[in-house]
Chain A
């Protein structure tokens, strides 16, 4: 029998002045990171957590099964910015809602997941942003939702440790901001080139205008609340973004609303409740939304055919007077009063 060889192939090592290389590398990296961090702090960025599938799954896991007191908030960015969780907790007998809304997405698949979870017996407040909720399932915005649900089903054990390790880093460095200061986002923002006529390309997303807390509450960035230049910049981003997909209509819309109705019935049949909520929008964006998704053809139809209660901010005088700095979301202080004024109406409708 042959023996194991005493010698074997050994990887060659480049001849280099390794101490010099490592010292120079360390020096450049540390100097750059210091300058980079200072620069973005001067620009107004603060440290904060990143939106992530793991953060969503952790929040989803907080929804206790078989508990009728559970409140879950679904929807897009508007409900995430406009509902203040602390106020809700104070004014609703200590019940803190689970924030499961995801910015820029259609909550349809999240709603489906909750409706199919037989152990869920609580209440869903589902925010409706017409341009997203009445968008076909194939819209790019649904990809994040699918990724989150997939993550919930098959997350690895190390996903949680990754999250735990990322929290202190993200809480310490303002420049760690994937949605806004990553290489890709910086390239997209600063290397703006004209696209070909007719190219089906997603318009750029707005820059930093909100931060997320550990329980997924979004706050609007203070500069966004006060700086007209930034407000105007973001307003002009919303317009093409909300015109990306043609309005959902015809048989597709019929089937879609029917499927939402089935979800509502499924929830109601086991004692769970759902309420749809249309949060404020203003300016030219509101005009566009009225044109693309007329209330009677979408919102009214949704409530009528599903039989679920709903609150449209325009129907309640105290909710109708808010101004959105960039036409789509409430400022941090307005979110507090909006939530306070909204809650009695929510309780009233759910009690009926």
Chain B
């Protein structure tokens, strides 16, 4: 079920009420586990079997790994866990993509092959929960974490509904210990949790769906080249839309967990105020970028094996990161562009790092804007349905689109420009601060007015049916 739906509001109210009943902690956890399965089954009940499979295999594999010091046995259990999770991911997410590419390559060499058309439905959130459970088994294998002593706790770790379908991807050490002791939100935690849920919904429903999506939809849906302004506004609007959509989801997830008494780490930290691309990836989808760093980039050798190898590792990580988002070459191109940017940044750092002029405010703002503009170029590949569309928009953005068409109403242009400017100014103003510190300094009545304003706009917007973009990943 969607966070931004009436069903979720009723569902959450019931779960929260049961969680606050004077019952044993085990019963409360069981309530959360059953609620999480119900939450997932609301999309498609059969896919709950995949969650069970992942849970059972990883629980057993980690327990067996921890029980023995025989290396080949430990490795075998790890391979079983990885094969199960990556196999599920591969079949549901990449099966069709691989088949299509195989047919294309075969066709290019003169072998005409027409496979039976298989309609594979992608289970919601499979990329998120498979990565989360794999991190558990790998951590136990590396002896970074002990295996969970309780199957109930582990099942809840895999399935915990606030972050099940679109993250943040939580590490075992961040969540499993919280299930050991009874957790119930205090009044300030409950209020702040509800406040975060409202802020997340506001980002998703008002900012992403209502104010920015129409512009990006019009631009990316255009069948012809566009004029310079429309192409840029479309790309900027999508950059804002995907941020508010995904950061909105993460904020709701964090708030929902907090209402239940659990702490879930941040997933975004004002990414559009990043100075450079390594900074961007420390601020954007933090739980995925840190996962890729710890379980892919470092095992590949990280930066320990020379410059060439470091650059190859970096590019491989970004390419796979791109592919993680979707089974299409446009996502690979998005990852490749980010990999290329990171190379570029490394070169620039070598040349200019430590020079006093780089610390001047005007230079930092300039570098921040350059980062933002280059990131905006990458969003074109992320949003476009194919390379033809991406190419058309990119050419229009650099003034090579020829006689482009105008698809945006004046009002849409003003709304998009205003929202994006506010986003950048706000991000820059608070780039090194936590939201909690900022709210703590605001007079209480102003907090009440702002909260009421968000709720009123949410009600007037009457949105709520639009799925979150990251669900498809």
Chain A residues at the B interface, C-beta cutoff of 8 Å: 1-6, 8-18, 20-25, 28-29, 32-33, 36, 52, 138, 154, 156-158, 161-162, 165-166, 169, 176-178, 181-184, 186-188, 191-196, 198-201
Given A20-B448, A28-B449, A29-B455, residue A4 in contact with residue B176 (CB < 8 A) = yes
Kindly specify which of B41-49, B52-60, B82-90, B381-389 makes contact with the partner chain: B41-49
Contact A187 B411 (CB under 8 A): yes
The answer for the CA separation of A98 and B161 in the assembled complex, in Å, is 38
Which of A10, A176, A199 has the most C-beta atoms of chain B within 10 angstroms of its own C-beta?
A: A199
| A residues less than 8 Å from B447 (CB atoms) | 16, 21
Contact A200 B444 (CB under 8 A): no
Q: A24-B445, A166-B6 are in contact. List 12 more A-B contacts (CB 8 A).
A: A1-B66, A13-B436, A14-B439, A18-B192, A156-B44, A162-B5, A165-B10, A183-B457, A184-B461, A196-B406, A199-B407, A201-B409
Q: Which of B29-54 contact A (CB under 8 A)?
A: 41-45
Contact A12 B448 (CB under 8 A): no
| B residues less than 8 Å from A20 (CB atoms) | 444-445, 448
Q: Is B310 an interface residue (CB 8 A)?
A: no
Contact A191 B146 (CB under 8 A): no
The answer for the CA separation of A169 and B210 in the assembled complex, in Å, is 21
Q: Is B177 an interface residue (CB 8 A)?
A: yes
The answer for the CA separation of A187 and B407 in the assembled complex, in Å, is 18
| B residues less than 8 Å from A28 (CB atoms) | 448-449, 452, 456
The answer for the CA separation of A25 and B199 in the assembled complex, in Å, is 14
Closest residue of chain A to B467 (Cβ to Cβ) is A156
Closest Cβ–Cβ distance, residue B129 to chain A (whole Å): 18
Number of A-B contacts (CB under 8 A): 171
Contact B178 A8 (CB under 8 A): yes
Contact A9 B263 (CB under 8 A): yes
Question: At the interface, is chain B mostly helix, strand, loop or mixed?
Answer: helix
Contact A8 B174 (CB under 8 A): yes
| A residues less than 8 Å from B45 (CB atoms) | 157
Closest residue of chain A to B188 (Cβ to Cβ) is A13
Contact B440 A16 (CB under 8 A): yes
Contact A6 B452 (CB under 8 A): no
The 8 A CB mask of B178-209 against A (1 = contact, 0 = none) is 10100000111101100000000000001000
Contact A2 B434 (CB under 8 A): no
Which of A8, A20, A52 has the most C-beta atoms of chain B within 10 angstroms of its own C-beta?
A: A8
Closest Cβ–Cβ distance, residue A5 to chain B (whole Å): 6
Contact A8 B460 (CB under 8 A): no
Q: Which of A29, A138, A162, A199 contacts B7 (CB 8 A)?
A: A162
In the complex, 6 of the A-B residue pairs with CB atoms within 8 angstroms, ordered by the A residue number, are A1-B143, A2-B146, A4-B180, A18-B192, A24-B444, A186-B460
The answer for the CA separation of A184 and B177 in the assembled complex, in Å, is 45
Q: Which of B428-452 contact A (CB under 8 A)?
A: 434, 436-437, 439-440, 442, 444-445, 447-449, 451-452
The answer for the CA separation of A141 and B217 in the assembled complex, in Å, is 15
| B residues less than 8 Å from A10 (CB atoms) | 263
Q: Is B398 an interface residue (CB 8 A)?
A: no
Closest Cβ–Cβ distance, residue B37 to chain A (whole Å): 13
The answer for the CA separation of A191 and B463 in the assembled complex, in Å, is 20
Closest residue of chain A to B453 (Cβ to Cβ) is A28
Contact B191 A21 (CB under 8 A): yes
The answer for the CA separation of A199 and B222 in the assembled complex, in Å, is 12
The answer for the CA separation of A156 and B46 in the assembled complex, in Å, is 12
The answer for the CA separation of A156 and B44 in the assembled complex, in Å, is 6
Contact B263 A8 (CB under 8 A): yes
Q: Which of B227-280 contact A (CB under 8 A)?
A: 254, 258, 263-265
Q: Is B223 an interface residue (CB 8 A)?
A: yes
Contact B444 A17 (CB under 8 A): yes
| B residues less than 8 Å from A17 (CB atoms) | 444
Contact A25 B451 (CB under 8 A): yes
Contact A16 B174 (CB under 8 A): no
Which of B178, B263, B437, B447 has the most C-beta atoms of chain A within 10 angstroms of its own C-beta?
A: B447
| B residues less than 8 Å from A183 (CB atoms) | 206, 210, 457, 460-462
| A residues less than 8 Å from B5 (CB atoms) | 158, 162
Contact B410 A195 (CB under 8 A): yes
The answer for the CA separation of A177 and B455 in the assembled complex, in Å, is 17
Closest residue of chain A to B442 (Cβ to Cβ) is A16
The answer for the CA separation of A10 and B257 in the assembled complex, in Å, is 12
Contact A181 B462 (CB under 8 A): yes
Closest Cβ–Cβ distance, residue B206 to chain A (whole Å): 7
Q: Which of B173, B187, B452 contacts A29 (CB 8 A)?
A: B452
Q: Which of B41, B187, B189, B461 contacts A157 (CB 8 A)?
A: B41
Which of A5, A52, A161 has the most C-beta atoms of chain B within 10 angstroms of its own C-beta?
A: A161
